Every structure is written in structure tokens, then in C-alpha cells.
DNA sequence: AATAAATTTGAATTATGATTAAAATAATTT
DNA sequence: AAATTATTTTAATCATAATTCAAATTTATT
């Protein structure tokens, strides 16, 4: 196998590890999840995970980096697709929900940032703040172009992000609900946000 | 001190323990929080907590029972106050937010039910489901009396509850934000829910 | 097929933090 | 003020799960 292919396989396996970890962390929390839990989910034993991450803390950290990347990707796609400010908001939420309930999921909710070491914590807090900031910008852009009703963007942003972040707590991966989620959840979140 | 007064003092102290624990659990999760963390918050050492609870698991369990009680209390108050279905929904959310950011807070988010032992888990899941069910009933009552716009009550309920549950993750107890929260958050959550 | 590299394991080791027990202190009652 | 009870502490103990390490196995390369 070539170096490239080796790297690819390694990265692929690592991504499986991160998704399995995300699933566990979302349900039982960082410290409530043992490495054995994560390994079992993949048919491995715990020491095998150390081939992919330095330690448990790094595992969460990487889950959060991945979560941040996917969130940013969803937002970038929505922005690139264009449309009114309102459209961009709805599209972003839809892409993000699709990722959460689709085959790229689950995505770790960043609910235990305090468990990270100081450097990682600061980095994740930063990207997390950045994401909130950008979302509020989207809302503001919508207000400015007249597609979104005037509102407190900070409050509205927190409310919508909270509703998004809570999804992994109750969504249990059945296909029927997944479709329903994608079709209805974003619309539910922005009901009342349309101007006029 | 009389038996009654003794019981009262004990119960009062126990409630302080539960609030301190809720604050810790909300930030660092069940297993991420050591009993030492909780004790320190009260100027005590960890073994002192065993005077109030049997073990750590019971501590979370009681936090969740307390959270459920307060949520139910907020809902009961709103129902008793009356008004249109829409009014009851808004009032319930307002009372609940007031509790969260007021002196009875913080309230533990039930984010780690899987960490409970089977009996406690089943009990908490039950009251939790019951609360969601009742909230959906409030929404449905509002739709029926024409004060709430037609919507998928399951989705809407999940969205609003998610936004509520996420509050403790970002709210950091400053008075200014508390007032803003009480005044604006419930309104933000139901914007677009008003019929007509 | 032989060799090398990557991956996984089983068997220790270690660290952390929950729990227990006995003693000390503080509060309450008589 | 003595006796009793409630509360808290200090100093162990115990359990769990993270981590390490050497060996085994599997996969890729020649």
C-alpha cells in the first residue's frame, strides 16, 4: 500500500473512532464514557485507540475540532449557495441537521469544553465563539436586507443554537425521524423569523 | 433546636448542596465533576457531602428530581394563572427561566440520565417524558383555542425545550443578562408561534 | 514467500477520585 | 454544665478506568 493510501486508511479509521466517540460522549458525557465503551462500539479493545490519539483528552478535543469543522462547512455551503439572509440561515440549519442525522454523524455536542486542557480549551472556545458570531452576522444580514424580522440577534442566536445543540440528546438515529428532522426542524426554528 | 427546626436546617443545607452540585454538573458534567469540586463550592471537604446524600449517583439523581420539580412547578403556576394557550406557554417559559437565573437556580440540566442507576434512570426518564408530554399538550391546547399557529407540536416542543435546556451552558449568572433573559428569551422562543 | 510496517491485543501499572471509618468539633437538649 | 446529637474533618482504603508496554497478529511491500 502506498504512503498516500496508508494515510488515507489511517485517517478513515480515525474518523470512525471520532464518530464512535461522539456517539458515546453525546449520551454519557466525557468522563462517563470509558475508552472501553468507545472501543467496543468499533469491535476493538481500549489500547487500540492509542494508535489514533495520544490520550482521552485529545480524543474529545478532536471530536470538538471535527464538530467545529462540520458546522463551519455547513455554514460556508449555505453562504456560497446565496439567496436572501433568511435563505442563508435556513440553508445553513438544514445542512447542519443533515450532517447530524446523516452518515457523517453523529457530531459531538461541545458540552464539556471545561474538561479540555487549557490550550485546547482556549482554541475550541475561540472557534465556538467565532461560529456564534458568524451566525449572528447571518441573522443581522437578513435583518439588513429585509428578509429577517427585527430581533435581538444575540438572544435569537443562542435560542436557535441551543435547539440545535440539543438534538443529539434525543435523536436516536432512526431513518424516519431523520427525514422528518431535515424537513421540519430548521423550518420550526426560523418560524417567526421571516419578515413581513 | 426542635426536631422540626433541625429537619429544616438539614433540608436547607441539603438544598445548597444540590444547587452547588447543579452548578458543577452543568459546567463539567457528572463524571467531570468531583465531589471535591462540589464541596469546595460550599467551603466543605468531600466526605461532608455524605452526610446529605448516600453517594454521588444519588446526588445527581436528587439534582434531577429537583430540576423536574421546579419545571413542573413553573408549568403548574402558568396553568393556574390561565389565559389563552399561547399565554400559558409564554408564562410557563418565563417562570422556568426566572427559576433558572434567579436565586433558586441553578437548575441541573438532565443531560446525563444514562449515568443514573436503572431504577433512578427509569424514574427520571418517566418524569422527563411526562414534562415533554405536558408541554406538547399546552401547545396543542393553544392550537385548539386558536391562539397558537398550527405546527408540529413534537418538533416545536423539542426545539423550545432544547433552547431552554441549553441556557445553563452559556448563562454565567450576571444580573444584567438575567433580566434580559427573563424579558426576552421566552418571547424569542415563541416568536412565530402566535396565530394570525 | 519473506520482510517490513501497521494495527491490535493481553497483561501489567498508575492515577484519580469515590467511599469508609474513626476522631474532632460544633450545636442542641436536658 | 453535662450529655447527646449533628456536622465536619483527617487519614486511610477501594474501585475504576486511563495508560503503558511487550508481544502477537494482521496487512502491505519487495
High-pLDDT (> 90) share of chain A, %? 81
Measuring from the CA of residue B50 to each C1' atom, give the nucleotide at the shortest distance: C19
The Cα A2–Cα A23 span in angstroms is: 32
CA distances from A177 to A98, A182, A188, B51, B128 (A): 12, 9, 15, 45, 20
The Cα B146–Cα B140 span in angstroms is: 10
Can you give B9-33 as a three-state secondary structure string?
A: HHHHHHHHHHHHHHHHHHHHCCCCC
Contact check, Cβ <8 Å, A27/B167: no
The Cα B69–Cα B103 span in angstroms is: 16
- Coil, strand or helix at B190: helix
Q: Which three cell numbers stand for residue A158?
A: 443562542
Q: Which three cell numbers stand for residue B19?
A: 444547587
Does A51 have pLDDT greater than 50?
Answer: yes
pLDDT digits (tens, 9 = 90+) for B62-84: 999 999 999 999 999 999 999 99
- Coil, strand or helix at B130: helix
- The one-character DSSP state at B85 is H
For A:112-171, CB contacts with B below 8 A are: 112, 114-115, 149, 151-152, 155-156, 158-167, 169-170
The Cα A42–Cα A21 span in angstroms is: 10
Does B4 have pLDDT greater than 70?
Answer: no
**Element housing B87 (H / E):** helix B85-101
Which residues in B49-120 belong to E strands, given as ranges?
none
Question: How confident is the prediction for chain B on average, in pLDDT?
Answer: 92
Structure confidence at residue A173 as a pLDDT band (50, 70, 90): confident
Could you count the other beta carbons within 10 Å of the beta carbon of residue A81? 12
pLDDT digits (tens, 9 = 90+) for A66-78: 999 999 999 999 9
Show residues, CB within 7 A, near nucleic chain C: A 6, 9-10, 13, 39, 43-45, 47-48, 50-51; B 1-3, 5-6, 9, 31, 33-36, 46-47, 50, 55-57
pLDDT, position B7: 55
The Cα B161–Cα B184 span in angstroms is: 16
Give the closest residue to A62 by CA, choosing from A98, A110, A134: A110
Give the closest residue to A129 by CA, choosing from A188, A72, A173: A72
Structure confidence at residue B22 as a pLDDT band (50, 70, 90): very high
Could you count the other beta carbons within 10 Å of the beta carbon of residue A44? 18
pLDDT digits (tens, 9 = 90+) for B92-132: 999 999 999 998 989 999 988 988 999 999 999 999 999 99
Give the closest residue to B194 by CA, choosing from A196, A153, A192: A192
Chain B residue whose CA is closest to A190: B192
Can you give chain A as a three-state secondary structure string?
A: CCHHHHHHHHHHHHHHHHHHHHHHHHHHCCCCCCHHHHHHHCCCCHHHHHHCCCCHHHHHHHHHHHHHHHHHHHHHHHHHHCCCHHHHHHHHHHHHHHHHHCCCCCCCCCCCHHHCCHHHHHHHHHHHHHHHHHHHHHHHHHHHCCCECCCCHHHHHHHHHHHHHHHHHHCCCCHHHHHHHHHHHHHHHHCCCECC
Structure confidence at residue A1 as a pLDDT band (50, 70, 90): very low
The Cα A46–Cα B152 span in angstroms is: 43
Q: What is the mean pLDDT of residues B41-45?
A: 95
Radius of gyration of chain B (CA): 18
Does B195 have pLDDT greater than 90?
Answer: no
Phi–psi pair at A31, nearest 5 degrees: -80, -20
Cα torsion through A8, A9, A13, A18, rounded to 10: 0
The Cα B16–Cα B22 span in angstroms is: 10
Structure confidence at residue A4 as a pLDDT band (50, 70, 90): very low
Q: What is the distance in angstroms between the Cα of B88 and the nearest Cα belonging to chain A?
A: 19
Does A83 have pLDDT greater than 90?
Answer: yes
Contact check, Cβ <8 Å, A188/B114: no
Amino acid at each position: 500500500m502506498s504512503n498516500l493510501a496508508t494515510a488515507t486508511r489511517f485517517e478513515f479509521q480515525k474518523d470512525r473512532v471520532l464518530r464512535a466517540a461522539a456517539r458515546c460522549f453525546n449520551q454519557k458525557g466525557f468522563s462517563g464514557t470509558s475508552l472501553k465503551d468507545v472501543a467496543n462500539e468499533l469491535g476493538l479493545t481500549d489500547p487500540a485507540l492509542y494508535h489514533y490519539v495520544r490520550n482521552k483528552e485529545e480524543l474529545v478535543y478532536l471530536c470538538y475540532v471535527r464538530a467545529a469543522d462540520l458546522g463551519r462547512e455547513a455554514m460556508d455551503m449555505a453562504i456560497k449557495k446565496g439567496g436572501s439572509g433568511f435563505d442563508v440561515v435556513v440553508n445553513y440549519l438544514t445542512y447542519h441537521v443533515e450532517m447530524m442525522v446523516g452518515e457523517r454523524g453523529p457530531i459531538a455536542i461541545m458540552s464539556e469544553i471545561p474538561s479540555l486542557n487549557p490550550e485546547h480549551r482556549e482554541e475550541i472556545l475561540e472557534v465556538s465563539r467565532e461560529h456564534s458570531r458568524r451566525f449572528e452576522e447571518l441573522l443581522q444580514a437578513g435583518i439588513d436586507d429585509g428578509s429577517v424580522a427585527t430581533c435581538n440577534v444575540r438572544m435569537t442566536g443562542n435560542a436557535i443554537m441551543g435547539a440545535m445543540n440539543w438534538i443529539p440528546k434525543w435523536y436516536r438515529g432512526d431513518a424516519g425521524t431523520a427525514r422528518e428532522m431535515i424537513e421540519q426542524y430548521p423550518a420550526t426554528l426560523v418560524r417567526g423569523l421571516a419578515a413581513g
